[in-house]
């Protein structure tokens, strides 16, 4: 069931956050910054309010509680295609450029990847990368589903979007969490770091036994803009992370800039993606 508390749902749609990312990082877009996702100023105000709530509430303890709760995977069991159709209840009614359900958005991403000749696991990653947004359908508020992600349990970088909103986060005043390394060791590796809770982290844990490691990095860190765009957390990363982030960099343009008004032929493409999923995933997935 959707969470409808307006305090927790400032965005008109979940995709409004991604549209804001395009505005912040427009250099790889196929359209001009002003043309792509041309919302008026009030829409940007809703994004700002979204981050006020997100930054105030994404604490170290909050993340640990969510991991303990949702990583039991006891909400629902579905095939990949059933999960995608379940996600279609999050159709974006406010998008000014495009009127596509979630299946079509995912197919646009994956078909752009396939057209460029990338490996089949890369294509599948494009198709399923947003499935973690089913968290909204399990009652999670927007600020715990989407948004730029960041480490918790250590000092927040000023390279994170709207860093001033962390002033209301209690971890800022907790000496365990407000130093450069916090609960972590220098260059400990991101696998030892707890990230803010959302669809990226959730889907990573669902898929971690099934997909190649580069695909898992794409899923887990594609919203970690403070690092792959701003290099703000090199002090927590190890050399292996840096090598894997080359794949994150390859993936992000397809996620952000592949949206177009021409809808994919879902009926025609479905058999291909069902066969592709069967190569890597079990018959059903636990959410």
285 strand-pairing partners:
78
**Beta-carbon count within 10 A of 113 CB:** 24
| pLDDT of 37 | 40
Q: What's the rounded mean pLDDT across residues 175-199? A: 98
CA distances (Å), origin 160, targets 17, 217, 283: 14, 19, 38
CA–CA gap between residue 86 and residue 132 (Å, rounded): 11
pTM: 0.87
Which pair of structure tokens corresponds to residue 206?
């669902």
| pLDDT of 21 | 82
| pLDDT of 183 | 98
- Strands (E) in the chain, as ranges, are 77-78, 285-286
| pLDDT of 98 | 45
pLDDT in tens, 214-270: 999 999 999 999 999 999 999 999 999 999 999 999 999 898 766 666 788 999 999
- Going 122 to 107 to 102 to 252, the CA torsion angle's sign is positive
CA–CA gap between residue 5 and residue 28 (Å, rounded): 35
CA–CA gap between residue 17 and residue 47 (Å, rounded): 7
Residue among 98, 95, 97 nearest 13 (CA): 95
Cβ pair 103, 93 in contact under 8 A: no
CA–CA gap between residue 181 and residue 203 (Å, rounded): 26
pLDDT in tens, 65-114: 999 999 999 999 999 999 999 998 875 433 334 456 778 888 999 999 99
pLDDT in tens, 11-32: 877 778 777 888 887 765 444 4
Cβ pair 150, 195 in contact under 8 A: yes
Concatenated DSSP letters for 105-150? HHHHHHHHHHHTT--HHHHHHHHHTTGGGGGGGGT--GGGTSS---
151 strand-pairing partners:
195
pLDDT in tens, 144-171: 999 999 999 999 999 999 999 999 999 9
CA–CA gap between residue 273 and residue 114 (Å, rounded): 11
- Phi/psi-derived region of residue 118, left when phi > 0, alpha when psi is between -120 and 50, beta in every other case: beta
| pLDDT of 9 | 84
Sorted by sequence, the CB contacts under 8 Å of residue 125 that are 6+ apart come out as 110, 113, 211, 215, 218, 219, 251
List the domain boundaries for the chain: 15-286
Higher pLDDT, 173 or 37: 173
- Going 279 to 282 to 284 to 285, the CA torsion angle's sign is negative
């Amino acid at each position: 069931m959707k969470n409808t508390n307006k305090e927790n749902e400032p965005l008109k749609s979940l995709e409004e956050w991604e549209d804001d990312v395009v505005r912040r990082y427009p250099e790889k877009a196929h359209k001009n910054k002003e043309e792509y996702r041309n919302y008026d100023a009030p829409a940007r105000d809703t994004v700002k309010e979204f981050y006020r709530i997100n930054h105030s509430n994404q604490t170290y303890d909050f993340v640990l509680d969510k991991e303990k709760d949702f990583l039991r995977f006891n909400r629902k069991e579905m095939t990949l295609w059933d999960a995608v159709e379940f996600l279609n209840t999050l159709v974006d009614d406010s998008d000014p450029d495009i009127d596509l359900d979630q299946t079509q958005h995912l197919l646009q991403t994956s078909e752009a990847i396939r057209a460029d000749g990338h490996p089949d696991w890369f294509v599948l990653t494009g198709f399923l990368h947003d499935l973690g947004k089913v968290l909204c359908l399990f009652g999670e508020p927007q600020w715990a589903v989407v948004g730029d992600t960041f480490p918790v349990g250590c000092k927040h970088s000023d390279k994170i979007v709207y860093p001033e909103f962390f002033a209301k986060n209690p971890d800022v005043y907790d000496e365990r969490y407000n130093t450069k390394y916090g609960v972590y060791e220098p260059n400990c590796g991101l696998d030892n770091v707890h990230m803010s809770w959302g669809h990226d982290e959730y889907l990573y844990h669902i898929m971690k036994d099934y997909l190649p490691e580069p695909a898992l990095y794409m899923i887990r860190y594609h919203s970690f803009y403070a690092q792959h765009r701003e290099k703000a957390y090199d002090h927590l990363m190890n050399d292996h992370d840096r090598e894997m982030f080359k794949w994150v960099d390859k993936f992000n343009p397809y996620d952000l800039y592949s949206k177009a008004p021409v809808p994919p032929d879902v009926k025609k493409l479905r058999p291909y993606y069902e066969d592709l999923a069967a190569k890597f995933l079990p018959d059903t997935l636990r959410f």
